[in-house]
Amino acid sequence: MLYASNNEVTAPNMTPLAEFLGAGNPENFLTAFIVLYILINLLSVLVFNLGFARKLPLLKNVVIYGMMLFGNIFITFLAFTLPIIESLFIAAIVLGVYKLQLKRHKQSEEQNQTS
């Protein structure tokens, strides 16, 4: 809790998603944390897969995903007040559009070479 100048206790500004999940209420904090953690993990795995150009061996993937799952615990605490999930969502959209355009470009190049 934050203390205002007139000794009133004020809650920190939360993101709309955290407020929607009821993170300001101590009874709902654990549920909101778990939901945010799952969303962050899903979006970070999606962004990683869309943004990483080449395939990695299985053991390297296991290490990367393990570190990602561990690190996302700390990022989840930041997601209560910072727009982490919203940023990951925008990054996933941008990378998805980029991959789609890249795929189209490669297909058109293949068609031009065969013609």
Give 10-66 pLDDT, tens digit per residue: 667 888 888 888 877 888 888 889 999 999 999 999 999 998 878 889 999 999 999
State the pLDDT at residue 65.
Answer: 92
Q: What gap in Å lies between CA 80 and CA 64, rounded to an integer? A: 24
Alpha-carbon torsion (70, 87, 50, 46), positive or negative: positive
pLDDT at 4 over 80: no
Share of the chain above pLDDT 90, in %: 50
pTM passes above 0.95: no
Only one residue has tokens 């189209």, namely 104
Q: Indicate the DSSP class of residue 13.
A: P
Residue found under tokens 């013609």: 115
